[in-house]
Amino acid sequence: MSAPEPILSMRDYRLVFDTFDGIYQALDGVGFDLNPGESLGIVGETGCGKSITAKSILGLLPSPPARVLSGEILYRGQDLLKASERDFRRLRGTEIAMIFQDPMTYLNPVFTVGEQLVDAILAHQRAKPGGERMNKAAAKRHAIQMLAKVHLPNPERQFTSYPHELSGGMRQRVLIAMSLSGAPRLLIADEPTTALDVTIQAQILDLIAELIDDLNLSVLMISHDLGVVAKVCDRVIVMYAGHVVEDAPVDQLFNDPRHPYTRGLLASIPHPGRPPTSLSGIPGTLPNLYDPPRGCRFAARCPLAVPACTTAVPEKRHLSGNHLVACIRADEDLPAEAADA
Partner 1 sequence: MLEIEDLKVHFPIREKWQKATVKAVNGVSLSIATGDSLGLVGESGSGKSTIGRAILRLNKVTGGDIRLKGMSVVNAGRTEEEMLRRQAQIVFQDPHSALNPRMPILRSVAEPLVLHTKVRGVELRRRVTDLLEIVGLQSQFLYRYPHELSGGQKQRVCIARALALQPELLVLDEPTSALDVSVQAQILEFLKKLQREQNLTYLFISHNLAVIRYICNRTAVMYLGQIVEEGATEQVFSAPRHPYTKVLLEAVPLPEAGQSRRTDVVIGDVPSPVNMPTGCSFHTRCAEAMAGRCDKVAPPPVALADGRRVRCHLFAD
Q: State the residues that interact with partner 1 by CB under 8 A.
A: 45-46, 153, 167, 169-170, 197-203, 205-206, 209-210, 224-228, 230-232, 250-255, 264-273, 275-276, 278-283, 285
Q: Quick one: 159 or 261, whose CB is closer to partner 1?
A: 261
Minimal distance in Å, beta carbon 273 to partner 1? 5
Q: Quick one: 265 or 330, whose CB is closer to partner 1?
A: 265
DSSP letter (8 states) at residue 257: -
Minimal distance in Å, beta carbon 245 to partner 1? 14
- Specify the length of the chain in residues: 341
Q: Quick one: 120 or 220, whose CB is closer to partner 1?
A: 220
Burial 253-292 (b: 16+ CB within 10 A, else e): beeebbbbbbbbbebeeeeeeeeeeeebebeeebbebeeb
Q: Quick one: 91 or 207, whose CB is closer to partner 1?
A: 207
Minimal distance in Å, beta carbon 37 to partner 1? 14
Minimal distance in Å, beta carbon 106 to partner 1? 19
Q: Quick one: 31 or 249, whose CB is closer to partner 1?
A: 249
Residue 39: what residue type? S
> Which residues are CB-contacts of 213 (< 8 A; sequence separation ≥ 6)?
none
Minimal distance in Å, beta carbon 43 to partner 1? 10
Minimal distance in Å, beta carbon 133 to partner 1? 37
Burial class (CB in 10 A: 0-12, 13-18, 19+), 119: middle
Q: Quick one: 109 or 270, whose CB is closer to partner 1?
A: 270
**Contact status, residue 190 vs residue 141, Cβ threshold 8 Å:** no
**Contact status, residue 129 vs residue 90, Cβ threshold 8 Å:** yes
Please provide the DSSP assignment of 75-108 as one string.
Answer: ETTEEGGG--HHHHHHHBTTTEEEE-S-TTTTS-
User: How far, in Å, CA of 193 to CA of 92, rounded?
Assistant: 22
Minimal distance in Å, beta carbon 153 to partner 1? 8
Q: Quick one: 169 or 292, whose CB is closer to partner 1?
A: 169
Cβ atoms < 10 Å from Cβ of 196? 21
